[in-house]
Amino acid sequence: MIHRQTQTREYWSAYKFTQDDADFLSSYLLETGTPKPLSELASALMQHRVDIEAAELRRELERRTIYQPKKKYTVGEELVFPALKAASGKVISQRAGRNPEIEPFDVITVEMPGGKHREFAANYTRPHRLNDDNVLAILSDDSVMSTTQELVEQYGERISQVIDTGLAGDSEFLRIGGDWFLRAMMAEVNVGHLNLSEAVLDITGGGPLPTHTILEELGLPPDIAGSLQEISLNTALARDDRFDDVSLDDGISSWFLRRLEPTEVRNIPGALQPATMRTQEAIITDDLRALAVELGDELMYDLESPVEPQNSAAVVLTFPHLRAGTLGWSSRIAGVLPKVSKPRAPVTFRDAVSGKEYVVWLVKQGAYIFGLGDWYKQNDLPAGAYLQLSRGPSDNVILIDYKRRRPKREWVRVANSRDGRLRLETAQRAVACEFDELMSVFVENPAALDDLRGVAPRDVSQAVRESFPEIAKLSPQGNVHARTLYAVVNVITRTSPLDVFAALQSSGSYVPVGDNYWHIGEAH
């Protein structure tokens, strides 16, 4: 087997970025015409180095006599053995081979490096892979221990880091996000172009507009390909604080003016500011933990976790989101929403019945969807209403609906603020939707509860102590379901079900009575 340096750990561990590497990557980017991520540049460069070594080895072998069993040799002749890591040796003797089962052949004795003698067949005409006259065939199979992909998997991360440092120190290259490109291939985008881009977005209410739409008004040099014009404008817009990249993960760049984005998109609404406590999960029962998962609160969800695409999802509207005009970006609905890696991105929600459309924002910080306040008011939805999200005709259109029914008067739970404290009562209200009776909370004066909630989130344990007796007094048995407690606590402070249940179980004031119902302890 021919020894190749590029197949060794030592070679890639000692790798240093050279000017030849920079020249190769420059040509590679020039040929492809688009920015490339480091992983692709590393793969291309590693393949290039493997190819260079193969070419050098091929030229070396072609200059020398390559041992092949079918050939005849003379004493004193120097041979190269590709199958022995390209080792060389001198023929020192020759004799007839002895094997009655095959036609006559010769045996040569070769003195190898270090004085060792080895015997090889010669004048052997039967089929053998070493008898292939194509030197490339000798090099292309066993001589390559690993494919380039295998080399990249083993050493690509380090090579990418070295390339990244090398390109950062070379003015010929330009970093675009996580990709690299040639500075000379970019179209010049000056301050005039950026001001005009701002005006174009301003006319449309701030956006969003895709890059190609903005480009139509700029008049960049026509000799530069449209794709490079988009790349150039995207790079310039990304460096200007006036513009916000609000693209979905669909490969189409889209822009919005930061100054015209809703305040609630850049700052978490007060009703969603979470209170936190050091949850003692070890004390939470399995039943309560299962209920917490079932509730699907976005405060318990990591947006970076992979999700399976879903055609539809049902959720219960909670008071904090009703008050803020938002919806939780939870694991339950993540599969319905388009993929978003940017901090915020606008999409269209369409009423499944009326067809009316609303621009809403997917906001990663806080894991919420903003822009549903008008839809909630128009449909007179209470906290506890069942909502349904479904995939629309395109990735950026989501259908939204609720379980509609004829309005009828129902006895419901009503929340108010009195004497600086939460007060609950039952009263009749007209309701035109199906709702979760355990989680429904009708609030007639939300502003009063804003004052009750205060500027900073209230302590979770205090909120549980305040909410539990108010819920209990509405039940003849004085029982409180943990689901209801979670919903009511979130009227006065935003918190996760795990924190509510931890405060419930650790207080010592309440006892379970089965099926996630709790009662105030006798000592209290």
Give 421's strand partners: 418
Give 182's strand partners: 173
Unique residue bearing structure tokens 């939460």 = 422
CA angle 71, 77, 83 (to 5 degrees): 60
What distance in Å separates the CA atoms of residue 361 and residue 49, rounded to the nearest whole number? 47
Q: Is residue 415 part of a domain?
A: yes
Q: Is residue 262 part of a domain?
A: no
Q: In what order do the strands lie in the sheet with 326-328?
A: 312-316, 386-391, 397-402, 344-351, 357-363, 368-370, 326-328
Model pLDDT, residue 225 = 62
In this predicted structure, the answer to whether residue 125 has a pLDDT above a threshold of 60 is yes
Same domain for 304 and 339: yes
Beta-carbon contacts of residue 191 (< 8 Å; ≥ 6 apart): none
Same domain for 354 and 275: yes
Comparing 84-93, 111-120, 265-274, which segment has the lowest mean pLDDT? Answer: 84-93
Bridge-based pairing state of the strands 326-328 and 368-370:
antiparallel
Name which of 325, 199, 182 is nearest 255 in CA terms: 199
Q: Is residue 265 part of a domain?
A: no
Same domain for 92 and 42: no
Last residue within a domain, chosen from 379, 405, 431: 405
CATH of the domain at 377: 2.40.330.10
Same domain for 197 and 95: no
The token pair at 438 is: 């355990």
pLDDT, tens only, 15-60: 999 999 999 999 999 898 888 999 999 999 999 999 988 888 777 7
Bridge-based pairing state of the strands 442-443 and 404-418:
parallel
Model pLDDT, residue 299 = 92
- List phi, psi (to 5°) of 213: -70, -40
Q: What percent of the chain has pLDDT over 70?
A: 92
Phi-psi sector, 430: left (phi>0), alpha (psi -120 to 50), beta? beta
Model pLDDT, residue 48 = 93
238, containing H or E segment: helix 226-238
pLDDT, tens only, 196-239: 999 999 999 998 999 989 988 887 766 566 678 888 888 899 98
What distance in Å separates the CA atoms of residue 518 and residue 514, rounded to the nearest whole number? 7
Letter for the amino acid at 495?
Answer: T
Same domain for 331 and 445: no
What distance in Å separates the CA atoms of residue 404 and residue 439, rounded to the nearest whole number? 18
Model pLDDT, residue 1 = 44
Same domain for 397 and 304: yes
Name which of 115, 106, 7 is nearest 54 in CA terms: 7
Model pLDDT, residue 66 = 81
What distance in Å separates the CA atoms of residue 395 and residue 168, rounded to the nearest whole number? 36
Same domain for 310 and 162: no
Give 481's strand partners: 517
DSSP structure string for 97-143: ---TTS---EEEEEE-GGG-EEEEEES--S--GGG-S-HHHHHHSTT
Q: In what order do the strands lie in the sheet with 173-176?
A: 36-37, 179-182, 173-176
Name which of 369, 347, 361 is nearest 298 in CA terms: 369
Q: Is residue 137 part of a domain?
A: no
373, containing H or E segment: helix 373-378
Model pLDDT, residue 33 = 84
Q: Which domain holds residue 509?
A: 411-520
Same domain for 381 and 357: yes
CATH of the domain at 110: 2.30.30
Same domain for 169 and 116: no
Q: Is residue 263 part of a domain?
A: no
CATH of the domain at 216: 1.10.10
**What is the mean pLDDT of the segment spanning 467-492?**
94
Comparing 142-156, 181-195, 391-405, which segment has the lowest mean pLDDT? Answer: 142-156
Q: Is residue 138 part of a domain?
A: no
Last residue within a domain, chosen from 222, 256, 290: 256
What distance in Å separates the CA atoms of residue 14 and residue 454, rounded to the nearest whole number? 60
191 pLDDT band (50/70/90 cuts)? very high
The token pair at 59 is: 């030229």
14, containing H or E segment: none
Model pLDDT, residue 250 = 79
Last residue within a domain, chosen from 405, 424, 439: 405
In this predicted structure, the answer to whether residue 457 has a pLDDT above a threshold of 70 is no
Q: What percent of the chain has pLDDT over 90?
A: 55
Same domain for 49 and 170: yes
CB distance 336 to 369 below 8 Å: no
Same domain for 11 and 157: yes
What distance in Å separates the CA atoms of residue 182 and residue 174, rounded to the nearest whole number? 6
Same domain for 510 and 417: yes
Name which of 300, 310, 215 is nearest 255 in CA terms: 215
CA angle 480, 486, 488 (to 5 degrees): 80
Question: How many domains does the chain divide into?
Answer: 5
